[in-house]
Amino acid sequence: MELLAERENLALVEVAGVRRKIDVGLLEEDPARAGDWVLIHVGFAMSKISEADATDQMRILRMLGEDEAAMQEIEGYGMGETAARPAS
Amino acid sequence: MQASPKIRFRDAQIEMAHGAGGKASRRLIEGLFAPLLFEPSAGPLGDAAHVQVNGTRIAITTDSFVVKPLRFPGGSIGELAVNGTVNDLAVSGARAETLVVTYVLEAGLPTDILEYEVRAMAAAARRAGVVIAGGDTKVVEHGKADRMYISSCGIGRLIEGVQISAQSVRPGDRILLSGPIGDHGITILLARGELDLEAEICSDTRSVLPLVETLAAAAPGGIRWMRDPTRGGVATSLNELARDCGLGICLSEDQIPIHDTVRGACELLGLEPLHIANEGQFLAVVAADAAYAALAALQAAPGGQAAAMIGEVREQPACTVLVSTLYGGTRVIDMLVGDPLPRIC
Amino acid sequence: MKFVDEFREPELIAKTAHEIRRLADPQRHYRMMEVCGGHTHAIYRFGLKDLLPPNIELIHGPGCPVCVLPMGRIDDGLSMTAQPDVIFTAFGDMMRVPGTRGSPLEYKARGADVRIVYSPADALKLAQTNPDKHVMFFAIGFETTAPSTALTLMRARSQGIRNFSVFCNHVTIIPAIRAILDSPDMRLDAFIGPGHVSTVIGCRPYEWIARHERKPIVVSGFEPLDMLESVLMLLRQLKEGRAEVENQYKRVVPWEGNRAALKAMAEVFQLRPYFEWRGMGFISQSALRIRDSYAEFDAEQRFSVPGIRVTDPKAAQCGEVLKGVLKPAQCKLFGNECTPERPVGALMVSSEGSCAAYYNYEHRKAALVTEVAAAL
């Protein structure tokens, strides 16, 4: 959810083209700025989402089983890096 | 002497859920209306009834429209009242020809609002190729009709080569969907203005008759069953089918067309898109050997470009609708229970 | 959708699931409990059980704040609708929860003014736009939702609103976890820690679970990849004989929690000495009440509530299911007298209740599970 404009304690956030006014009072100590992503719960922003941490997490997961033995196992199951989408 | 029909409906009073199109609605219809009103010999309840009149089989249906707000992005109640009935006839395999309508109006309703809806209805009728032959009007006291209620009754002739029956559905048949889900329901929810949400979504209300005719031409004899997934959404319609034919339905989540904004709104509100009402889509179960050609024909037709094959019929699990995700997880999706509820934690 | 789609990437999910299978000791049966209702919901929504090996058992804990509310409290809230000009507001999940004389929706059908809101701020707005009515907000939820209620009351005060009150049923997660661990019938190996509660309280409050109870706990996100990664992290801890608090949901959960949220809570709320939890009896220091300084907004003080203790029907086993001692299908009423349409207890109504989730998922899926397991 991207933070857009601000008015009093309300910010306009957008997800997939849906816009909503959210109370950002709980982020007082570390205010969010336009362009930030936030976690929203019952109309209040609870926390900022750290893009860096998210990227980190994905990187670690991608490295799962990168040692030889594990890679062979994965390929054996037909689930390599360019796995095809399952047939519908 | 005929035995007195048994009423199976046990609820002490009528609740909103009885009109939501899900389980409660079904209980009311099957448990109270059907035993008292309908012929026991008539088959499972469908979108329209097919009757013999002087040797010709015609289809007849009725529907009522209770919408708040009256006007919303993409349409208004007058338009819904035409398209809804035309669509009920279309998915029963009939070409709508004539409608009669009833307006129940609330005293105090500004005339220009009424005029707008009547014009919208006339325009929708022209677009759908139907004639409005007559109607009735009643006025009730202020506070009694939420501005206006409309009901419409339509008749039409059967489309050649189309015979719909849940009993004809077989394992291996494919499920086609004419376009993206959830547009109408989410539009209405947002248009009520109670939510502080804005989005570029509009109702998908339209006549699906042209697409149904395209399908009939592309898959002669291959259409087993159709339905327009209005209140209760795709999940409710398919659950009704699964129950009626005793088979299982397996959907692939990633194949189900949905606009990003609808998906986003559902995520924000904790709603299940498969339970949201649609006013311009239809589901069709088509025999496997005709399904791919049928899909291609739909996608090539005006208004059908987003049509998709969303799943198939299987032997097991019986009477159940399953949705499988891209990565191998599956879940059961039931009929709508009550009204869509958002999540909390 | 950003921050959602990436965490549902099929390749990564398959990889993580595979790693879990590789690591899990076939001689061992792992029992992991998730305490957050949102996780229960996610497990079923994403079909995560299909992706785990059969010797990893996910047990649902009492993380559904609607489910743990005793019927008497629901009756108390609904009793306020007897007063004229009261607008009863609550989240959607509350609407079909049965009280002794019906659910909020049933009260609405009988003429009470009952409305769904999606935020306590919506309820406050209703009070502003209906000055001649009194708006009562039935507040439920763990520490995730409590700060929002608190902030709303602070705003009500600063805006001088007089026709608004809150019926406070906020509960706290740590005493619930403690009660589970103290329960003699529970044998657990590890915990999947609540994701959203932790954005408020941080990760420190769980340290005693690792240190004193020697159980690993991983604070987890809600996307399929998050939950699988958390299971993987727990497995690793168990294999390596570690018992630590780890934060899988780093992108959202700060280790120290949200100070502004904790401050708001401290300003408006204080702990009740004890509170009754459905099926778990009275737990001390486990729930919040509104401070005397905000008494004018306390619905319990503005309205006189019956305060009658209502025990669940004898046959209903809500309590055991809430503690994870029983699986939903083992409750005698499951699927017969108690269904999502005709619920006896809240677990069958709430989208985060294990009974409702189980009913829609496991109940009719036996045949398919073997098929999927074979394919993996």
Looking at residue B309, the DSSP 8-state letter turns out to be E
Which residues is B276 bridged to in the sheet?
none
N-to-C CA span, chain C: 27
Asked if B267 and C45 touch (Cβ cutoff 8 Å), the reply is no
- Chains in touch with A (3+ beta-carbon pairs under 8 Å) read B, C
Which of the four CATH numbers 3.40.50.300, 3.30.420.40, 3.40.50.360, 3.30.1330.10 does domain B55-158 have?
Answer: 3.30.1330.10
Residues contacting residue B109 through CB under 8 Å, at least 6 positions apart? B147, B148
> Tokens standing for B246?
């005793």
Which residues is B56 bridged to in the sheet?
B53
Residue type, C257: G
CATH superfamily entry for domain B166-332? PurM-like C-terminal domain (3.90.650.10)
Asked if the Cβ–Cβ distance from C105 to B338 is below 8 Å, we say yes
Tell me the pLDDT tens digit for each residue of C310-347: 877 778 888 888 888 888 888 888 888 888 878 888 88
Q: What is the pLDDT of residue C365?
A: 55
Asked if the Cβ–Cβ distance from C360 to B334 is below 8 Å, we say yes
Domains of chain C, earliest start first: 5-57+182-247 (3.40.50.11750), 71-172+257-302 (3.40.50.11740), 318-375 (no CATH)
Distance of CA C290 to the CA centre of its chain: 20
Q: What is the pLDDT of residue A74?
A: 53
Most A-contacting residue of C15, C20, C137 (CB-CB within 10 A), to test interface: C15
Size of interface A-B (CB pairs under 8 A): 43
> Tokens standing for C242?
């570690």
Q: How many CA atoms lie within 13 A of C280 on its CB side?
A: 29
Per the document, the length of chain B is 345
> Tokens standing for B317?
């699990």
Chain C positions touching B336 (Cβ under 8 A) are none
Tell me the pLDDT tens digit for each residue of B274-303: 999 999 999 999 999 999 999 999 999 999
- Distance between CA atoms of B156 and B94, rounded to whole angstroms? 6
pLDDT of residue B110 exceeding 90? yes
Q: What is the pLDDT of residue C368?
A: 46
Q: What is the pLDDT of residue C160?
A: 95
Distance of CA C270 to the CA centre of its chain: 20
Total-model pTM: 0.82
> Tokens standing for B158?
């059967």
Chain A positions touching C254 (Cβ under 8 A) are 47
- Distance between CA atoms of C81 and C65, rounded to whole angstroms? 22
Largest CA distance in chain C: 67
- Distance between CA atoms of B52 and B56, rounded to whole angstroms? 6
Lowest-confidence pick of A60-69, C242-251, C347-356: A60-69
Domain-by-domain residue ranges, chain B? Answer: 55-158, 166-332
Q: What is the pLDDT of residue B338?
A: 66
Chain A positions touching B326 (Cβ under 8 A) are 85-86
Tell me the pLDDT tens digit for each residue of B27-41: 898 889 988 888 776
pLDDT class of C370 with cuts at 50, 70, 90: very low
Asked if C352 and C64 touch (Cβ cutoff 8 Å), the reply is yes
pLDDT class of B2 with cuts at 50, 70, 90: very low
Smallest CA–CA distance, residue C160 to chain A, in Å, is 17
Asked if A23 and A42 touch (Cβ cutoff 8 Å), the reply is no
SS3 A31: coil
Q: Is C118 touching B (CB cutoff 8 A)?
A: yes
pLDDT of residue A80 exceeding 50? no
- Distance between CA atoms of C255 and C249, rounded to whole angstroms? 10
- With a pLDDT cut of 70, the percent of chain B lying above it is 94
pLDDT of residue B340 exceeding 70? no
pLDDT class of B43 with cuts at 50, 70, 90: low
Domains of chain A, earliest start first: 2-49 (2.30.30.140)
Tell me the pLDDT tens digit for each residue of C144-171: 999 999 999 999 999 999 999 999 999 9
Smallest CA–CA distance, residue A88 to chain B, in Å, is 6
pLDDT class of A61 with cuts at 50, 70, 90: confident
Q: What is the pLDDT of residue C254?
A: 93
Chain B positions touching C361 (Cβ under 8 A) are 331-332
Across B3-17, B67-81, C347-361, the highest mean pLDDT is recorded for: B67-81
Q: What is the pLDDT of residue C211?
A: 95
Tell me the pLDDT tens digit for each residue of B136-169: 999 999 988 789 999 999 999 999 889 999 999 9
Higher pLDDT, residue B43 or B289: B289
- Distance between CA atoms of C148 and B304, rounded to whole angstroms? 45
SS3 C205: helix
Tell me the pLDDT tens digit for each residue of B301-328: 999 999 999 999 999 888 999 998 877 6
Mean pLDDT of chain B: 89
pLDDT of residue C61 exceeding 60? yes
- Distance between CA atoms of B197 and B265, rounded to whole angstroms? 8
Residue type, C137: F
Q: What is the DSSP string of B94-124?
A: EEEEEEEEEEEEETT--HHHHHHHHHHHHHH
pLDDT class of B345 with cuts at 50, 70, 90: very low
Tell me the pLDDT tens digit for each residue of B85-97: 999 999 999 999 9
pLDDT class of C369 with cuts at 50, 70, 90: very low
Going through chain C in order, the beta strands assigned E by DSSP cover 30-34, 56-60, 86-90, 113-116, 134-141, 164-170, 190-193, 217-219, 245-247, 269-271, 274-277, 281-284, 288-290
Q: Which helix (H) or strand (E) holds C299?
A: helix C299-302
Which residues is B24 bridged to in the sheet?
none
- Distance between CA atoms of A9 and C159, rounded to whole angstroms? 13
Q: What is the pLDDT of residue B213?
A: 97
Give me the residue label for tokens 């919408």: B67
N-to-C CA span, chain A: 31
Q: What is the DSSP string of C17-46?
A: HHHHHHHS-TT--EEEEE--HHHHHHHHHT
CA nearest to B306, candidates B224, B154, B183: B183
Size of interface B-C (CB pairs under 8 A): 129
- Distance between CA atoms of C33 and B91, rounded to whole angstroms? 47
Nearest chain B residue to C13, by CA = B327
Most C-contacting residue of A1, A24, A41 (CB-CB within 10 A), to test interface: A41
pLDDT class of B54 with cuts at 50, 70, 90: confident
SS3 C134: strand
Cα distances (Å, whole numbers) of residue B57 to A44, B96, B99, B133: 58, 13, 17, 20
Cα distances (Å, whole numbers) of residue B298 to B217, B282, C121: 10, 12, 46
Q: Is C340 touching B (CB cutoff 8 A)?
A: yes
Q: What is the pLDDT of residue A5?
A: 63
SS3 B315: coil
What are the phi and psi torsion angles at C249 (to 5°)? -95, 40
Does a cis peptide bond (omega within 30 degrees of 0) precede residue B317?
Answer: yes
Q: What is the pLDDT of residue A76?
A: 54
- With a pLDDT cut of 90, the percent of chain C lying above it is 59
Q: How many CA atoms lie within 13 A of C89 on its CB side?
A: 22
Distance of CA C152 to the CA centre of its chain: 21
Most A-contacting residue of B175, B176, B253, B261 (CB-CB within 10 A), to test interface: B261
Q: What is the pLDDT of residue C362?
A: 63
Asked if the Cβ–Cβ distance from B317 to C105 is below 8 Å, we say no
Tell me the pLDDT tens digit for each residue of B160-195: 889 999 999 999 999 999 999 999 999 998 888 777
Per the document, the length of chain C is 376
Which residues is C168 bridged to in the sheet?
C139
Lowest-confidence pick of B209-218, B237-246, B258-267, B319-328: B319-328
Smallest CA–CA distance, residue C260 to chain A, in Å, is 5
Residues contacting residue B194 through CB under 8 Å, at least 6 positions apart? C122
- Distance between CA atoms of C214 and C196, rounded to whole angstroms? 23
Q: Is B202 touching A (CB cutoff 8 A)?
A: no
How large is the average pLDDT for residues C30-36? 93
Chain C positions touching A9 (Cβ under 8 A) are 155
Residues contacting residue C150 through CB under 8 Å, at least 6 positions apart? C261, C264, C265, C267, C268, C269
Tell me the pLDDT tens digit for each residue of C165-215: 999 999 999 999 998 898 887 789 999 999 999 999 999 999 999 999 999
CA nearest to B154, candidates B238, B242, B59, B68: B59
